[in-house]
Structure 1
């Protein structure tokens, strides 16, 4: 939807793929990026890191009630017209892939999803800044999701909105209408899905 990301290639390769400067420098390989942790993010200002998960302080739902749960994924169908997302920015989360799970609680099976051609996957995302106690400001990000394609549908009812590299600028800087045109399932047959039996889920 995604539930967790992984990014093991050097950020320098991500920067080259996106045709931007490597403003982050060397970063450790990460096979298990969880909500609440820092993720690499591309904004209109370049590569940076943000907390994955938006703490919705001050945000309200359509009924005017406070949003209480941390937002790690936002539905594409409502991201531009829901009051809970008013005033958010746009970003891209570049990763090698993500994980999903199927099955019952004690018999869950993990699946690793990546591009068949080995290129990075670029998740459309929204951002905002949480003003934490003590005046600290925390930049935070949430992935945007849509209906799954035929590849992902057997394992999850949602998937992240994935972008072509050529569409990154349109997502980051285009009008709301142009951004909405990008929020669709990824073309079928371009993802590699395999069991993830080799991941230590307690490690980063």
Structure 2
């Protein structure tokens, strides 16, 4: 989808990949959940944003703000849905992500990561939400597409994975350029294994 992320490689490796300084205090994290702060490349710098986007300006039939948080945005409606108007595009670096299968209380977690150990870059959208009291919060949602053959057996969606040479195009290209990048990653590049030894209660 992705459900949760992990980024455990040294911060210096992420910094080198993007040619930008990592935010202060960002070390390895084996369990990154929605609602937490994550590292995002905004096209120029790596910065911290909350994973979960409250669409700016979204209102219900009565004209009241809709506070529902969107963690993942479907690319099929990303460029046409009013909830995503005026969002900017970014890239979420990670080493991989987790998904679950099975019934409640007996769910099996799966760890999904590149077989060659390379850094992933998820396509994302972001903006700055202004709270009623005036506080501002940078927020981000990852972009999803249909799964490839590696992910399909365990989930009906996967994040849009961008190659490093596509990062700048996603962030600063036009809509047609960005839309052309929204497709499943080629089959055979991801390793899907049972997730063992992860502390799901902590960050």
TM-score normalised by the chain length of structure 2? 0.94
Counterpart CA distance in 1 for 2:45 and 2:187 is: 30
The answer to whether the Cα contact below 8 Å between 2:148 and 2:186 also exists between their aligned partners in 1 is yes
Deviation at 1:23, TM superposition (A): 4.2
* Structure 1 residue ranges, 4+ long, deviating more than 3 angstroms after superposition: 64-68
Native 8 Å contact 1:61 1:82 kept in 2 = no
Q: State the alpha-carbon separation in 2 of the partners of residues 117 and 65 from structure 1.
A: 48
- What is the DSSP-based 3-state SS (H/G/I as helix, E as strand, rest coil) of the residue aligned with 1:84? helix
Structure 2 portions without partners, runs of 5+? none
- Alpha-carbon distance in structure 1 between the residues aligned to 2:175 and 2:89: 10
Unmatched runs of 5 consecutive residues or more in structure 1: none
Please name the residue that 1:80 is paired with: 79
1:10-89 matched pairs, under 5 angstroms:
10-18=10-18, 20-60=19-59, 67-89=66-88
Q: 1:12 offset after TM fit, Å?
A: 1.4
1:86-128 CA-to-partner distances (Å, cap 9, x unmatched) read 1100000000110000000111000000111101110000001
Distance apart, 1:47 and its partner CA? 0.6
Give the corresponding residue for 1:195.
194
Deviations 1:135-184 (Å, cap 9, x if unpaired)? 11000000000000011000000000000001101001100000000000
* TM-score relative to the length of structure 1: 0.94
Distance 1:94 1:114 in 2: 12
Root mean square deviation, CA, Å: 1.7
CA distance in 1: counterparts of 2:135 and 2:64, whole angstroms: 25
